Amino acid sequence: MDCDIEKCKSHCCHNCAVLTEGEVSILISNVRKKYLIVLEPRKYFKKVKGELGTYYAIKMIKGQCIFLDKQNRCRIYMCRPTLCELYPVIDIDKVDERCPMANMLPMEMLSGLKRRYAQEIDVNIKAEQTFLFV
Ligand code: SF4
Ligand code: SF4
């Protein structure tokens, strides 16, 4: 996507992505391989609970994702969670209107992101309404 982060200040990174335990392990392993950075789980992830299970949210610092750098860029971009990859799609048929790109994406691309959301996001995470930090 052709994002103008000067304009949006990477709004998408001011929410915390929720992952399953398996997705956290894959992310940690990928970051170690791609960036040679060893992520200590307790430093970067926080447990959250929904009605259907327990998951992990990426920690936030001062209202933004711990992986966002001072230039508003993702420090683990190549390994970012699927939920981050699919943004501005935030549900099977919903986009986050706060993203300046939300209504500018070609229909084909948007459909592809929605399809991936339906197929790739954990079935329980998709169904949860709210998450509580535990
Ligand atoms: S992991 Fe990267 S892309 Fe995802 S919210 Fe954090 S900084 Fe943004
Ligand atoms: S996806 Fe949207 S909110 Fe995120 S950086 Fe791009 S334009 Fe900004």
pLDDT digits (tens, 9 = 90+) for 11-46: 899 988 999 999 999 999 999 999 999 999 999 999
Beta strands in the chain (DSSP E): 18-19, 45-49, 54-58, 60-61, 64-65, 89-91, 94-95, 132-133
User: Using CA atoms, how far apart are residues 53 and 34, in angstroms rounded to an integer?
Assistant: 30
Span 46-74, average pLDDT: 96
What is the 3-state secondary structure of 72-98?
A: CCECCHHHCCHHHHHCCEEECCEECCC
Ligand 1 lined by 74 (C-beta under 6 Å): yes
Domain boundaries, the chain: 5-133
Q: Are 88 and 51 in contact (CB under 8 A)?
A: no
- Say how many Å lie between the CA of residue 63 and the centre of ligand 2: 16
Percentage of the residues of the chain whose pLDDT score is greater than 70: 100
Tokens of 48: 């959250």
- Say how many Å lie between the CA of residue 88 and the centre of ligand 2: 7
Q: Report the atom number in ligand 2 closest to the C-alpha of 1.
A: 6
Span 100-111, average pLDDT: 94
| Residue 48: closest CA among 9, 18, 8 | 18
Q: Are 66 and 59 in contact (CB under 8 A)?
A: yes
- Band of residue 53 on the pLDDT scale cut at 50, 70, 90: very high
Q: Report the atom number in ligand 1 closest to the C-alpha of 67.
A: 7
- Say how many Å lie between the CA of residue 123 and the centre of ligand 1: 21
Ligand 1 lined by 67 (C-beta under 6 Å): yes
